[in-house]
């Protein structure tokens, strides 16, 4: 499924990369979402040239509405996503299908990604995000890191249609629709992974939806994490390792959902003994005195996540059961 809105400048490259796939037996659902440029006209020309292209149109439903229309119109058991300004490597579909066939326990896969810009190199942070995404090649790593960032590149995925439909498809709301779907799939027990090859070229620009739509702002990320964490943790008290921006915001969001914040953990001796939102700030060695708690690792500084993981494991705590990385 390829939703497109005012994508006249990039639609040829996007569609062309799909029509050159080594796996040729597919239908390309191109969904024009109320474009006001030449996107619809060009899609119709491409459909006239290649019968695999089927054009749908909306009056401007937005991404989730367009994806829902595409899902309802699709006739295949596997659903691949693509954005109208991205490009797929020729073997993307074939290798993704093979990966699902070789790992039938998976509900869907993403692929490794190459992030690029037309005007300049992508930022170091975005490049690091692309490397992180591409590293999540097992269902265990996707599940482990699901609260750090969205663990699959949305336009790179190939999903089993029945799995997506079983959880209700994409949802519209005040949150990133892709990350919410991954969390919902994982919460329902489905498994996801990334094909360990760079098979998708993901275009960055100043006009990308993730930069301009308020649903993708940092505050919405925090709320989404809190929604799913609160259900996962139920009545277990939470300790936030790191009085960071994320840690403080999560403490507020989780408290609003009834989760009890038992403490914050900090290494800085100047902070130990203070209170944040009513919870004490303690040193790591004080964790044992807090009883049965679940630790959320909220420190995103380079190397900190792995350092905290090593400390927790060395002190007999198991990731997933006793602690979760959220930054």
Tens digits of residue pLDDT in 179-191: 999 999 999 999 9
According to DSSP, residue 319 is labeled B
Tens digits of residue pLDDT in 248-266: 999 999 999 999 999 999 9
> Diameter of the chain by CA atoms?
70
The pLDDT of 286-293, averaged and rounded, is: 96
Q: What pTM was estimated for this model as a whole?
A: 0.96
Cα distances (Å, whole numbers) of residue 142 to 48, 57, 210: 40, 34, 21
For residue 64, is pLDDT > 90? yes
Rounded distance between C-alpha atoms, residue 104 and residue 139, angstroms: 12
Residue 208: name the closest of 48, 84, 49 by CA. Answer: 84
The architecture of the domain spanning 234-325 is 3-Layer(aba) Sandwich (3.40)
pLDDT at site 291: 94
For residue 235, is pLDDT > 90? no
- What is the distance, to the nearest Å, from the Cα of residue 321 to the centroid of all Cα atoms in its chain? 22
What DSSP string describes 143-158? HHTTTTS--S-GGG-E
pLDDT at site 206: 82
Q: Where are the beta strands (DSSP E) in 98-187?
A: 106-116, 158-160
pLDDT at site 234: 84
Rounded distance between C-alpha atoms, residue 210 and residue 218, angstroms: 10
Burial class (CB in 10 A: 0-12, 13-18, 19+), 263: buried
Q: Which two tokens stand for residue 251?
A: 């403490």
pLDDT at site 213: 84
- 238-241 vs 87-88, strand pairing mode: unpaired
Tens digits of residue pLDDT in 170-217: 999 999 999 999 999 999 999 999 999 999 999 998 887 777 888 889
What length does the chain have?
Answer: 327
For residue 166, is pLDDT > 90? yes
Q: Which residues contact 168 (CB under 8 A, 6 or more apart)?
A: 184
Residue 177: name the closest of 144, 150, 137 by CA. Answer: 150
Q: Domain boundaries in the chain? A: 2-216, 234-325
User: What average pLDDT is seen over the chain?
Assistant: 96
Question: pLDDT category, 84, cuts 50, 70, 90?
Answer: very high
How many CB atoms lie under 10 A from the CB of residue 242? 23
The architecture of the domain spanning 2-216 is Alpha-Beta Complex (3.90)
The CA R_g of the chain, rounded to the nearest whole Å, is 21
Tens digits of residue pLDDT in 91-106: 999 999 999 999 999 9
pLDDT at site 215: 87
Rounded distance between C-alpha atoms, residue 261 and residue 252, angstroms: 9
The pLDDT of 146-152, averaged and rounded, is: 98
């Amino acid at each position: 499924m390829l939703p497109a809105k005012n994508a006249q400048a990039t639609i040829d490259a996007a569609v062309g990369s799909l029509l050159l796939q080594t796996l040729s037996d597919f239908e390309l659902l191109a969904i024009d979402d109320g474009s006001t440029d030449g996107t619809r006209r060009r899609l119709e020309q491409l459909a006239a040239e290649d019968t695999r292209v089927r054009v749908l149109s909306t009056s401007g439903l937005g991404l989730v509405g367009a994806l829902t229309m595409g899902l309802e119109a699709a006739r295949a058991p596997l659903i691949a996503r693509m954005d109208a300004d991205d490009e797929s490597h020729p073997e993307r579909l074939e290798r993704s299908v093979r990966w699902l066939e070789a790992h039938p326990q998976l509900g869907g896969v993403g692929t490794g990604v190459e992030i690029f810009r037309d005007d300049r190199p992508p930022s170091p942070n975005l490049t690091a995000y692309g490397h992180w995404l591409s590293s999540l090649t097992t269902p265990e790593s996707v599940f482990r890191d699901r609260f750090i960032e969205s663990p699959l590149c949305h336009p790179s995925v190939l999903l089993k249609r029945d799995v997506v439909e079983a959880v209700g498809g994409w949802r519209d709301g005040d949150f990133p629709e892709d990350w919410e779907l991954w969390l919902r799939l994982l919460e329902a027990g489905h498994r996801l992974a990334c094909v360990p090859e760079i098979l998708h070229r993901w275009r960055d620009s100043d006009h990308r939806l993730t930069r301009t739509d308020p649903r993708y702002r940092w505050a919405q990320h925090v709320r989404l994490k809190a929604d799913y964490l609160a259900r996962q943790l139920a009545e277990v008290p939470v300790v936030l390792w790191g009085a960071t921006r994320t840690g403080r915001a999560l403490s507020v969001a989780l408290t609003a959902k009834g989760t009890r914040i038992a403490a914050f953990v900090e290494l800085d001796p100047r902070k130990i003994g203070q209170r944040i939102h009513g919870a004490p700030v303690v040193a790591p060695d004080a964790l044992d005195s807090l009883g049965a708690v679940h630790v959320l690792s909220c420190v995103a500084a380079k190397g900190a996540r792995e350092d905290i993981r090593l400390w927790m494991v060395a002190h007999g705590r198991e990731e997933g059961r006793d602690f979760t990385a959220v930054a």
